[in-house]
Homo-oligomer: A and B are copies of this chain.
């Protein structure tokens, strides 16, 4: 075998993985959108066969010897191929450190956990979920030990979602946010409140869907390659490659902003996923590189652009066209103020831009302490409620609106939450950098996203997984990450809105 032949096999292997991923993503997407309600078990059978095939394809001796061969001839590979080989080997080696039976048992545990969590949330009963969650935390710790015995287990968890992230870095980051955000919230809470009643009323689903497409078009999303579905929880997924991406939303008939900002948020994820360089399609380098960078894009579009005065001025006439009756006596300025109302509240996904990171911090602290052995899973609800009171001043009425609200833990996503806050902060610094060469205000006020998207494509999107997230970010920023851009942005924007 020579390098050319090996590379050909490597591309075929990656294309095969893409096809399995295509099938599995689509089965998942179908299940969440249009599949008949009673078909979960049928879907489960197919998914179990396909994921076993994927596992075999990834860990077969043939694959390993191919990858080792290529790894040994790194000097003959271009940067893309070398990176793909590196990522493939890294994943496979990690997979192999976990005993197969424990891996399968964990996959089964997560299927059970999803079901138990749904029921527990419905009944607002943490005790129901507690034994399963204990097992998830235990397994997470055990796997962390298998894969990276030299690391603190929670550092391993953080690194999984944002390569290189550590507790030390998180602590420092969150301390910086807290120092600025907590006083800001205090001032806002004492200022006269904003009336957001213009966003309340009755907004039928058909008109909301029409408005969703308006938003997607305005953002410059290519509707030939991006679909929109309806699900309980909004999400974004690629189907096989960046050539087919789907976003979903959920329509709240009594609240116009919920779906509006879900669509813009997921649309940001979609733009990132859809704009990998075409050469990367059907390889391991296709799509977004980390959750932090992904959230930097989704929250960039949702908040930095979507909740800006310039964008609201542009989109408002289109909003009025979709909801002529409901918005006939409303002004763009009223909408702008309403979507930027700040109130300490219970639910992360409905939180405003200012209080949002406090929700994340609470989850980060709790995860860190549970994984570190300082907090028992059974004590999570009490600690959750105590921290909500301390950080946000709100009383949690029940576990449904408290510790059971998010799906992340039941899905095994421990270490995921910080990427939301990090992404928000990355975004603010990226915007600052972008403004050096792009007149963002002008673009937004004209509904011309092209120059903004072009900047993001050039600096972030097209690179797919070619670089580690920190490298990608620093290349784009031209300097080190610094959360003060984010806190400065929040202070400036909300001081103006609340006349502080």
Contacts and interface: CB of A to CB of B under 8 A. Distances in A.
Interface of A: 15-16, 18-19, 22-23, 26-27, 30, 33-39, 41-43, 45-46, 48-50, 53, 206, 222-227, 229, 239-241, 243-244, 246, 282
A201 B241 CA distance: 44
B46 A243 contact: no
A42 B206 contact: no
Given A26-B27, A39-B239, A19 B33 contact: no
A226 B34 CA distance: 10
A61 B48 CA distance: 24
B34 A227 contact: yes
A244 B26 contact: no
A227 B23 contact: no
B42 A23 contact: no
B45 A15 contact: yes
Nearest to A29: B30
A22 B46 contact: yes
Nearest to A39: B244
17 contacts: A16-B49, A18-B46, A19-B46, A19-B50, A22-B43, A23-B23, A23-B50, A30-B30, A34-B229, A35-B244, A38-B222, A39-B225, A42-B241, A43-B244, A45-B241, A45-B282, A206-B206
Contact of A36 (B18, B30, B227): B227
Given A23-B26, A42-B243, 13 more contacts: A18-B45, A19-B49, A22-B46, A26-B26, A35-B239, A36-B246, A39-B243, A39-B244, A42-B240, A42-B244, A45-B282, A46-B240, A206-B206
A224 B50 contact: no
Given A15-B45, A27-B23, A224 B37 contact: yes
A402 to B, nearest CB: 32
Nearest to A245: B36
B26 A226 contact: no
Number of copies: 2
A224 B36 contact: yes
A39 B39 CA distance: 26
A222 B227 CA distance: 28
A206 B207 CA distance: 13
A170 B22 CA distance: 43
A116 B276 CA distance: 31
A19 to B, nearest CB: 3
Contacts of A45: 15, 18-19, 22, 240-241, 282
Nearest to A51: B19
Given A15-B45, A19-B50, A27-B26, A33 B34 contact: yes
A483 B145 CA distance: 73
A16 B56 CA distance: 14
A36 B36 CA distance: 21
Contacts of A53: 16, 53
A38 B225 contact: yes
Nearest to A229: B34
A46 B34 contact: no
Q: Which 9 A-B pairs have the closest CB atoms?
A: A38-B224, A19-B49, A23-B23, A22-B46, A42-B243, A39-B244, A19-B46, A36-B227, A42-B244
Contacts of A35: 227, 239, 244
A38 B37 CA distance: 28
A63 to B, nearest CB: 15
Nearest to A47: B19
Nearest to A282: B45
Contacts of A36: 223-227, 244, 246
A364 to B, nearest CB: 36
Contacts of A243: 38-39, 41-42
Interface centre among A33, A45, A53 (most CB of B within 10 A): A45
Nearest to A224: B38
